Structure 1
Amino acid sequence: MDFKALLGAADVIADIHLVCGVILNVILIYVIRRFSKVSLGRYKYLLTIFAAFDVFLCFLHLLARPGAIIVGTTFGCVTDTMFDSRAITTFYCTCFTIPFALMNIHFLYRFWSIRSPDLISRFSNKKFVALIAMAPIGEAVVWYLLVYYGLTGAPGELGTLTLSQEYERKYGRLLKNGWIENGFNLRIFLAMTAFDIIMIISFTIAITLGSLTFYYIKKFEKVSVQAHSMQLKLFIAVCAQTFVPTLFVYIPYFCIINFPFFNLPLYFVDDAWMRMTACFPAWDAVIIIVLIRDYRVGLVGMFCR
């Protein structure tokens, strides 16, 4: 099988994942509304927000048709749309950074639910919700500005022309718009460093809250066995949900942002990256449905009557 045929097969798999992502997350939203127990509290709304955003990401990927290309130390990302605008490419890349910020809110909820249950009521406070929503929104705004203004890619630039030629040779389409990393450039280096700092901060928050939550779940003795089991299962679910975007989005993001700059080989990561981002919304839904018993049993019961 030649390279183009292999990419075509990968695109079909990605499209199947996108369709399944929409269907599964819509189903997940339904089972959350129907089968969530009172004991789950407002955590069900966080799960709903995440599922709804996954549906949005699936449609965004289908509409944007993103692609990536690397030539030497030059990396570019492009969207294949009818509109010739770098803003669309920037918006696409920005949206796929939001899930991890949302996951940190999930970790905070899980940590408070086991360590400081009295603080959970804050998730019912509109001012607190607005405040905590600024985390993913703020991260998205910063990421968008860094991509749009921190990287290059204007028409006529050497890097743009180089990648345009390679993209047309590889995919048979002309690269019209995108954002570019082109060798050593102080502005690009600072932008790359900022990207890495944002990702490191997100990972640090997740690891810290996750570790503390697990510690207090193991230490907690003032709850019933059933409540303890539920807390542990919900913690496992949020960890699994974190693993999926880490594997399918953040590790590839890190590689394609940093490796070309240092002229490190990426092999097929640039070709696989855009297909991998298409896969994680579907697996997000699968994880929650499978790991949360109420949803799993409720869904099976709907089809086994």
Structure 2
Amino acid sequence: MTTVAFRNAEHILFVIAMCLNLLALTLIFTKSSKEISQYRKLLVIFLISGIFFSVLHLILSPTCIMRENAFITYGSGWITDMRFIAVYYGVASMSFLILAMHFFYRAVVLGSETYTNVQIGFRRIVEIIVILVIELIIWTVLCAIFLCYKTEYAPTIARLTADLDDFPITNHDGRLLMFLGTIDGKLNLPPFLAIVSMILLCGVSLTVIVWSSIRVMSVLNAAQHRSSTWRKYNIQLFVALCLQFLGPLILLYLPCINFLLLPFVPGNPINAPHWLLSLFYSIYPIVDPVVMIVFIRDYRRGLYNMLRRAVFLPSSDHSVTAISTTATS
């Protein structure tokens, strides 16, 4: 795939992502039932983070290269500063933490004696935002300090990027977020430790997700005395949440971890296409609103009713005209 073709594909995916996220937000604010009134606040936070990620992706137009012992990311968009690319990766990291909060909330709700919604007030929302900002700062600092250009990288960069027509010729220090996994056959320790720290941060969120999932499943299995409607509704929310988890896992974390770790493998034979990771990141913001709309009953029915009214019911102007014509006759 040429650079122009994959940039055009990214722009199309951006438009689709924005439309779907705005549609999902509209449904959340207008079609949420009482049972989901508190949980929807977490859904809104997730969608807003996805919109922010999409906009940042469009502005930066990042290209990610993983070839031999090198990992390189550079921007070709309106902003090309590597510090903004570090922020971009930090925003991507927040999705796992937000999902961990979703899973934990469902576990807390189902773990309560009355199975009622747990209030998410203004103070709790502020606490959530503070935690997300802290993770964003940690990721950004790790990327900006330990994944930065060094003059000793220059010969390897020149050799591995000769075929890329949009690769920056100058100002590598300000534009490239990168590292070499090995130098002269030896492990490049500073970026390796930084990446291990990033993976451990994700591991904390993953631990919360696994624990919460086990808790939710055990409660649902034990609550046989509850009505079938209640069980079906909560199973539906849990399935939707699991699918929301698979989106960033498949499109963000697994590809990114492979791209980050393979350069440390001596003699790494894999040279990934320069458009692959960026294209995955473009698709990711589409997955979450689709899962919400399709698998959560409130929003599925809400969309169906909106479409039904738009397609089958006449507009108010048409109805008024028809009534006036009948009265005149």
Per the TM superposition, whether the score is higher than 0.5 is yes
1:123 partnered with 2:126 = no
For residue 280 of structure 1, what is the aligned residue in structure 2? 284
Query: Which one of the candidate residues 177, 180, 196 is aligned to 2:178?
Result: 180
The alpha-carbon deviation at position 149 of structure 1 amounts to: 1.2
Does structure 1 residue 255 correspond to structure 2 residue 258? yes
* Separation of aligned partners in 1, 2:291 and 2:81: 36
- Residue range with higher mean Cα deviation, 234-243 or 267-276: 267-276
Match of 2:66, SS?
strand
Instruction: Choose which of 163, 172, 197 in structure 2 pairs with 1:169.
Output: 163
Q: Does the C-alpha gap of structure 1 residues 40 and 160 become closer, same or farther in structure 2, counting only changes over 3 Å?
A: farther
* Residues 146 and 217 of structure 1: CA distance in aligned 2, closer, same or farther (over 3 Å): same
State yes or no: 1:210 paired with 2:204: no
Report the AA paired with residue 121 of structure 1.
V
- CA positional deviation for 1:102: 0.5
User: After superposition, what is the alpha-carbon deviation per residue over 1:56-109, rounded to whole angstroms, capped at 9, x for unaligned?
Assistant: 211111111001123421211111234452211111111111111110111011
1:289 to 286, 293, 299: 293
What is the match of residue 146 of structure 1?
142
Post-superposition shift, 1:226?
0.8
Return the alpha-carbon distance in structure 2 between the equivalents of residues 40 and 70 of structure 1: 42
List runs of 5+ in structure 1 lacking aligned partners.
none
Match for residue 229 of structure 2?
Answer: 226
Identify if the C-alpha distance between structure 1 residues 38 and 68 changes in structure 2 by more than 3 Å, giving closer, same or farther.
same
**Partners of 2:159 and 2:279 in 1: how far apart?**
22
Distance in 1 of aligned mates of 2:30 and 2:218: 32
Structure of larger gyration radius: 2
Question: Which deviates the most, 227-236 or 73-82?
Answer: 73-82
Whole-Å separation in 1 of the counterparts to 2:155 and 2:64: 14
**Pairwise CA distance, 1:133:** 3.3
Q: C-alpha deviations, 1:88-147, integer Å up to 9, x for none?
A: 1111111111111110111011111111257853522x4333334333222211111111
Question: Higher helix share goes to which structure?
Answer: 1
Identity %: 22
Equivalence map 1:7-18=2 (5 Å): 8-18=4-14
C-alpha deviations, 1:6-38, integer Å up to 9, x for none? x54444333222211100000000011111101
* C-alpha distance in structure 2 between counterparts of 1:204 and 1:269, whole Å: 32
1:69-88 alignment, distance < 5 Å? 69-88=65-84
Find the counterpart in structure 2 of residue 304 from structure 1.
308
Partner Cα separation in structure 1 for residue 42 and residue 155 of structure 2: 44
- Give distance in 1, aligned partners of 2:296 and 2:119: 24
Paired residue for 1:245, among 235, 244, 248? 248
* Superposition deviation, residue 269 in structure 1: 6.0
> Would the aligned equivalents of 2:27 and 2:302 in 1 still touch at CA under 8 Å?
yes
Bigger drift between 7-16 and 220-229 goes to 7-16
Most deviating of 284-293 and 268-277: 268-277
| Alignment correspondent of 2:327 | none
Once the two structures are TM-superposed, the CA of residue 232 in structure 1 deviates from its matched residue by 0.6
Could you tell me how far apart the structure 2 residues matched to 1:207 and 1:148 are?
31
Q: What is the match of residue 268 of structure 1?
A: 272
SS in 1 for 2:164: helix
Query: In 2, are the aligned partners of 1:98 and 1:136 still within 8 Å (CA)?
Result: yes
Shift of 1:53: 1.8
Amino acid at match of 1:169: D
1:211 to partner: Cα distance = 1.9
Alpha-carbon deviation of 1:289? 0.2
- Pick aligned residue for 1:201 from 190, 201, 204: 204
Among 190, 195, 211, the residue aligned to 2:193: 190
Deviation at 1:160, TM superposition (A): 4.7
Aligned length: 298
